Amino acid sequence: MTRTCKILLLYPNTEMATLVPINLSLLAPCLQRQGFEVELFDTTYYRWEEKNFEQKKVELLQLKPFSYDEKGVNYKESDMYDDLRAKVADYQPDLIGITLVEDTYELGLSLLKAISGCSAPVIAGGVFVTFSPEDVIGHNEVDMVCIGEGEEALVELCERIARGEDYTDVKNLWVKRDGRIFKNPMRRLTDLNSLPYIDYDIFERKRLYRPMHGKIYTMLHVEIDRGCPYDCTYCEAPHLRRLFQEKGCGTYYRRKDTDRVIEEIRHLVGKYRPDYINFNAESFLAKPLSELKEFAERYKEIGLPFWCQSRPETVTDEKIRILKEMNCQNMQFGIEHGNEAFRAKILNRHYTNNQMLESFRIVERYGISYTVNNIIGFPDETRELVFDTIKVNRQICPTTMNVYFFTPYKGTRLYQYCVEKGYIDKSDKVHQLLDGVPLKMDSISYIELKGLQRTFPMYARMPEDMFEKIRLAERFDEQGNAMFEELKTLYYQQYFK
């Protein structure tokens, strides 16, 4: 007799980072479609850091000040680990699944250690696991890891568990059993159109609240494609693409059919009543123009304002006009670096600054707000190179600008480059994009980069006759901090209207 299978999903998340993960929002309905029970333990609203991600962005002038108070979003006052132990004791899961990225790997392990007495097997998945399976399965708290995508593998695993069958040969899984590890081959990649609709019901309703430009929106996150066609050296997507090709799994970069996406959006809008939609695509405008036109015509039936991300070299006047007619309100672009030669050599991004600036002028002409992403602290970077990026930002008019640290994620070419150059040790741990990892290089120090990070928006927007004061504000001593607070107040008043 087949019994059911109860799955508890764990989401170790950066504190107060409210972007809802697509992976768990898909895994849950995949399992529920087969009759399995699914519940979630989410760490988003627990205190475990000195300052949360959104607060740091506000203090670094990367996010307009906002308040969750109007939506009743606040921290949980109970202990995260006690709550997890109580959840496990009450729910009695047959399987515990945890998704891991490098930023929250240590948090995830601490959660598993807190419930190490539980009899349910633990499976770990996520991009970090795919790149570091030996490390993850080496922990006593982990019984299995999933390499690559998990929608089909997790369902098959739960079917085996429900029937009381052996599961050591499930494709995509490495399974630890009786002192050995069964390393199974990878399966073909999933047809995105065959997946169930995204479902956010395992999350608290308030997880759909998302700050943007000082306001709080109920935002849907919709997957329209998976993967990326580009080959940036600091990104994990190219490695995933090569891995799937080498294993004969198929093409990683896939796009959903237009009909499927529109049907899914209609369903989600009817169910969750959002203010805004975020199209979860690495580069929204990378799709062929014919597909964009087809999608635009269908989306006009929905008409909700939306946010999307793309790359400067994908911009044309016609494409941005189409987005404007669709009710695109906000876009995000990765500048990453402002020096053309450095950007091409180190980042493998090949376009000129003039091309990039013309792209932003097109977006500005159509009145679409946009955010730019900048990264500082790349290997071999210098102060002068950081100012090349600042100079580009001084020539454009973004609503906000993000200034992240280069973060050497495992699975990227720049991670390997940093290891080979001795800039990092393999044991170094990343935290998040706002902090990166201190590289052991002579060209610029980590503390100087931190000073440039917090003053970057000032340099990018304030007049040059204030540069002397801004330079003082880079310093983390009493005088520098006082100047930073003075200039921060002025920045809020003048540039966050």
pLDDT in tens, 79-101: 999 999 999 999 999 999 999 99
**Mean pLDDT across 418-435:** 89
pTM value is 0.93
**Mean pLDDT across 380-385:** 98
Can you tell me the distance from the alpha carbon of 458 to that of 436, in angstroms, rounded to the nearest whole number? 21
Can you tell me the distance from the alpha carbon of 234 to that of 240, in angstroms, rounded to the nearest whole number? 13
Is the CATH code 3.20.20.70 the one for domain 213-461?
Answer: yes
Phi, psi of 62 (to 5 degrees): -100, -5
**Mean pLDDT across 244-253:** 94
Nearest to 453 by CA among 465, 440, 470, 439: 470
Q: What is the pLDDT of residue 1?
A: 38
Length of the chain, please?
497
Q: Which residues contact 49 (CB under 8 A, 6 or more apart)?
A: 14, 15
**Cβ atoms 129, 145 nearer than 8 A:** yes
Which H or E element spans position 39?
Answer: strand 37-42
Q: What is the pLDDT of residue 138?
A: 95
Position 213 pLDDT exceeds 90: no
Question: Number of H helices and number of E strands within the chain?
Answer: 18, 16
Position 379 pLDDT exceeds 50: yes
How buried is residue 260: exposed, middle or buried, by Cβ count under 10 Å (0-12/13-18/19+)? Answer: middle
What average pLDDT is seen over the chain? Answer: 94
**Mean pLDDT across 22-28:** 96
Can you tell me the distance from the alpha carbon of 240 to that of 379, in angstroms, rounded to the nearest whole number? 22
Nearest to 104 by CA among 473, 472, 429, 469: 429
CATH entry, 6-183, from 3.40.50.280, 2.60.120.260, 3.40.50.300, 3.30.470.20: 3.40.50.280
Q: Which residues contact 359 (CB under 8 A, 6 or more apart)?
A: 312, 313, 315, 333
Beta bridge partners of 219: 276
- In this structure, what is the dihedral angle of CA atoms 428, 433, 435, 436, given to the nearest 10 degrees? 30
Q: H helices of 60-202, where?
A: 80-91, 105-114, 127-131, 133-137, 151-163
* pLDDT per position as a tens digit, 340-364: 999 999 999 999 999 999 999 999 9
Domain ranges in the chain are: 6-183, 213-461
Position 331 pLDDT exceeds 80: yes
What are 434's two structure tokens? 């706002």
Position 180 pLDDT exceeds 90: yes
